Amino acid sequence: MQYAFLVDLDLFSTSNISAEDVANIKQVPVLLNWNIQESSFDLDEKNKSHDYQSSTQCKAFKDGSVHCVCIEGYGGNPYLPDGCQDVDECTMKNITCEPNMICKNTIGSYGCYPPGGSSSSKVYIIIL
């Protein structure tokens, strides 16, 4: 029996895995690696990185490949224009606020606020 699938090469290059073990694998990490030839990619020479858009971070490698990811607080496809969109962290199961606080999504992040929407306590001034 033969198997064919896309997989990150590092998964198998450092391990001794048998064909039987491969048949029992339920999930594998996938990495799509590609190059853009004969083009330029404006990079900051100091750190070899580039902000493709404010929500995307890209890094160029010596082989000419460019790897992009959505920054924290954003999700989607970093290779498309406006491909990284704000994630509503408040809908995620691992986000919790203190008791009596309400989670509110912000651009690229979230905050925990008291009911009423203010992040600070109300102060009343009484002139006597």
Let me know: does 103 contact 95? Beta carbons within 8 Å.
Answer: yes
- Of 85, 103, 119, the position where a domain reaches its end is 85
* Residue 11 in this model has a pLDDT that exceeds 70: no
Q: What is the DSSP letter of 97?
A: -
CA nearest neighbour of 69 among 88, 92, 50: 50
Burial category of 11 from C-beta neighbours within 10 Å (exposed 0-12, middle 13-18, buried 19 and up):
middle
* Domains in the chain, number: 3
| Co-location of 47 and 80 in the same domain | yes
| Co-location of 79 and 46 in the same domain | yes
Can you tell me which residue has the tokens 């929407």? 117
| Co-location of 80 and 92 in the same domain | no
| Co-location of 2 and 21 in the same domain | yes
* Residue 80 in this model has a pLDDT that exceeds 70: yes
| Co-location of 10 and 23 in the same domain | yes
* Residue 46 in this model has a pLDDT that exceeds 50: no
CA-CA distance, 14 to 107, in Å (whole number)?
40
The model's pTM is: 0.52
Using one digit for the tens of pLDDT, what is the confidence trace for 20-40?
A: 777 777 776 666 666 655 555
Give me the domain span that covers residue 25. 1-32
CA nearest neighbour of 6 among 43, 34, 35, 48: 34
Q: How sure is the predictor about 106, in pLDDT bands with cuts at 50, 70 and 90?
A: very high
| Co-location of 120 and 97 in the same domain | yes
What's the average model confidence in pLDDT over 75-89? 89
